[in-house]
Structure 1
Amino acid sequence: MDITKFVQQAEAMNLRLTSLYQHANALPARSDILPQAFLELGSASEMVQKATEELYQQNEELIQTRDLVEGERQHYRDLFEEAPDGYLVTNAEGVIQEANRAAVTLLGIAPQFLVGKHMINFIPTEIRNRFRSELNQLAECDRFKELV
């Protein structure tokens, strides 16, 4: 259930409770139990209303935060894509996860043919052993490192 529907249902419950209370007060023979029950229901209804308002406020804050995070994510995505240098994002094993436009241009390979491939395939044969050694050291390290 979304928050708007919940708010509408809580408001409808409040209106129905008010109506029932007014009708109960109009009855000729009143017992003390009925007014007490309505007071307790009214108190519960107020708590639901307050909780609803808090949920609504939290939902609005979450929406604003999500929009802010999405804007930041897009900003950094744009910086990555438009960077003048080629960047490859890999996993710890050296398998390419992402490539920016400059990397695609530099390697002359479409992105769909880069992603999922091991980076070693794009390293000149004469330096592959050194590169593998660097990659193995990187895999043992707990920090991110830039390989140039």
Structure 2
Amino acid sequence: MNLDMFPQQLQSLQGRLANLYQDANTAVQPEANLLLAALKELDTASKILEIATQKLFEQTQKLVNVQARLREEYKRYQDLFEFIPNAYLVSDIQGKIQSANHATATLFNLQQRFLVNKPLACFIAVEERQAFRCQLN
């Protein structure tokens, strides 16, 4: 079953059920054929919903697995970033520090939490800031 087609299939089924309901309301005495047709439509709807539910469950499981792998990779990256002996930091395009490792904090003699959101220019000698900003741009 193609989940992209599911909304159209469900809408079509709902239309058929509405027609059956209309036929049942207009008939003087509901006929066995009408009841049988309605039951077949409901059976079809039940099977479609069961398949769609299974597909959604499988997709959800895949997403959960991907999320777990991404968390593991992120943790691995964070550990490598944090414990590498060289000073490393991540900044945005304006030069504002987004994160810094332990070696960077040691180099600047500050706690890591105080480095985050600080402009890199603060750590550049005043006479060299103009050149730094030009190179950053």
**Equivalent position of 1:124 in the other structure:** 125
After TM superposition, give the deviation of residue 70 of structure 1 in Å: 1.0
Indicate the percent of aligned positions where both proteins have the same amino acid: 38
Output the CA distance in 2 between the equivalents of 1:119 and 1:32: 79
**Counterpart amino acid of residue 109 in structure 2:** G
Letter in 2 for 1:41: L
Structure 2 Cα separation of the partners of residues 67 and 116 of structure 1:
29
How far, CA to CA, are the matches of 2:113 and 2:66 in structure 1?
A: 32
Quote how far apart the aligned CAs of 1:57 are: 0.6
How far 1:30 sits from its partner (Å)?
A: 6.9
Distance 1:43 1:128 in 2: 71
Q: Which residue of 1 aligns with 2:93?
A: 92
Partner of 1:38: 39
TM-score by length of 1: 0.67
Q: Which amino acid aligns with 1:85?
A: N
SS at structure 2 position matched to 1:32: helix
2:75 is equivalent to residue 74 of structure 1? yes
Cα distance in 2 for residues equivalent to 1:41 and 1:105 = 69
- In the TM superposition, residue 61 of structure 1 has moved relative to its aligned partner by 0.6
Q: What does residue range 6-85 of structure 1 map to in structure 2 within 5 Å?
A: 31-85=32-86
SS in structure 1 of the partner of residue 99 of structure 2:
strand
Q: Return the alpha-carbon distance in structure 2 between the equivalents of residues 129 and 55 of structure 1.
A: 56
Which ranges in structure 1 are unaligned for 5 or more consecutive residues?
1-28, 137-148
For residues 131-146 of structure 1, the aligned pairs below 5 Å read 131-136=132-137
2:20 equivalent in structure 1 = none
Partner amino acid, structure 2, of 1:116: N
Q: Distance in 1 between matches of 2:86 and 2:127?
A: 23
| Deviation (angstroms), 1:101 | 0.7
TM-score, length-normalised on structure 2?
0.72
Aligned residues: 108
The corresponding residue for 1:112 is 113
Residue deviations 1:4-26, cap 9 Å, x none?
A: xxxxxxxxxxxxxxxxxxxxxxx
